[in-house]
């Protein structure tokens, strides 16, 4: 395709301008119109041209060989905020808005994170298809707001997409402990959850992620996540430490004092109903718990931790070692015989 996401374009025959937000099938592109930012329409590539008004050129300019064109930045996420209150709020919801094409058929869905409560949250969310990241977002979710996340293709529903999300309620004392939710989207469940979405005022497929926000009573899938919901919002592979220091955060004195420097990643310790999961799903859930535990330890400035992974086939141990090897906060780690854990745990020492 000639046009990347974020490229400003103009329709050849109508003169309307906009920005490309998605690449569709059959050589088509999705364009958000400048005249109405809430409207996105599909267009054939040959019906578009670059918006010369947005990219002025100088007639006398010389061509410099080897210069790489800067990739356009994706358009900013839309945020729909309303002033009215929902009398019976459902909570924080994941909403998929159908986006019909020119022929009326739906080839993709616009994903929104919707908050119909009067509370603000910090969040991060990831959507995965076949273990590949489709979208990832980390931001603040204001009260009575719907925030655009990105697109999910219709065909990807056949692959049972998975969602992982952390939220932290913002209070006058600062952000609270994080709550975690893992959601596996199945096509039948997806199509049965079709309702009018608040704020969007259109029929959409909805999933309630959180309807309670007290750390000890939140409805979550994991059996004993309460030790891990005290930590910072998951940063995962998107987080790059700015230095090798791990300064102690005085704001979390209570959390530091009650931090358990040991985590058991055996799946029966983390999740109910694990017998229905395949090995790849189990491994990814274990790594998510490990990452959040590691992030918390780094944030609090603890000197060392123990990660219990067992012996087994060694895939979990190797995946943990790979992440530790690329983390700038880790001084050293070792998987040696230990009187308490045998060879089934890795000791991590921070710099």
**pLDDT tens figures, 148-161:** 999 999 889 988 89
SS3 253: helix
Q: Which two tokens stand for residue 249?
A: 């955060």
Contact 124, 166 (CB under 8 A): yes
pLDDT at 52: 64
pLDDT at 26: 67
Residue closest to 208 by CA, chosen among 222, 231, 224, 189? 189
Residue closest to 8 by CA, chosen among 18, 23, 56, 40? 18
Mean pLDDT of the chain: 78
pLDDT over 60 at 58, yes or no: no
Give per-residue pLDDT as tens, 220-255.
Answer: 434 434 433 333 333 344 443 333 333 334 345 566
Q: How far is CA 311 from the centre of its chain?
A: 31
- Rounded to whole angstroms, the Cα distance separating 75 from 32 reads 9
SS3 content of the chain, % helix, strand, coil (to 5): 20, 35, 40
pLDDT over 90 at 50, yes or no: no
Residue closest to 306 by CA, chosen among 267, 270, 255, 343? 343
pLDDT at 251: 41
- Rounded to whole angstroms, the Cα distance separating 87 from 20 reads 37
User: How many residues does this entry show for the chain?
Assistant: 351
């Amino acid at each position: 395709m000639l046009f990347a996401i974020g490229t400003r374009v103009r329709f050849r025959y109508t003169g309307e301008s906009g920005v490309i937000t998605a690449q569709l099938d059959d050589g088509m592109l999705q364009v958000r119109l400048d005249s109405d930012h809430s409207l996105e329409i599909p267009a054939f590539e040959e019906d578009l041209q670059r918006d010369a008004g947005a990219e002025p050129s100088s007639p006398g300019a010389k061509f410099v060989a080897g210069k790489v064109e800067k990739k356009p930045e994706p358009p900013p996420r839309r945020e729909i905020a309303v002033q009215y209150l929902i009398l019976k709020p459902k909570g924080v919801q994941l909403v998929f808005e159908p986006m019909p094409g020119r022929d009326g058929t739906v080839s993709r869905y616009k994903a929104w994170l919707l908050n119909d409560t009067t509370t603000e949250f910090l969040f991060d969310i990831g959507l995965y298809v076949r273990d590949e990241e489709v979208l990832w977002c980390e931001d603040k979710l204001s009260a009575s707001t719907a925030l655009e996340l990105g697109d999910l293709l219709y065909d990807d529903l056949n692959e049972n997409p998975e969602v992982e999300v952390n939220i932290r309620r913002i209070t006058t004392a600062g952000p609270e402990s994080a709550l975690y939710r893992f959601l596996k989207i199945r096509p039948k469940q997806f199509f049965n959850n079709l309702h009018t979405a608040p704020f969007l005022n259109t029929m959409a497929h909805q999933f309630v992620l959180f309807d309670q926000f007290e750390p000890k009573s939140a409805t979550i899938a994991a059996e004993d996540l309460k030790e891990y919901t005290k930590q910072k919002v998951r940063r995962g592979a998107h987080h790059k430490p700015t230095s090798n220091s791990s300064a102690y955060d005085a704001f979390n004195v209570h959390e530091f004092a009650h931090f358990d420097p040991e985590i058991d990643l055996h799946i029966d310790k983390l999740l109910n109903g694990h017998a229905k999961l395949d090995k790849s799903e189990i491994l990814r859930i274990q790594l998510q718990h490990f990452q959040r535990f590691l992030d918390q330890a780094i944030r609090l400035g603890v000197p060392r931790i123990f990660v219990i992974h067992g012996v087994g086939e060694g895939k979990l141990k190797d995946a943990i070692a790979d992440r530790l090897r690329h983390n700038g906060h880790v001084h050293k780690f070792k998987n040696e015989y230990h009187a308490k854990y045998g060879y089934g745990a890795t000791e991590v020492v921070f710099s």
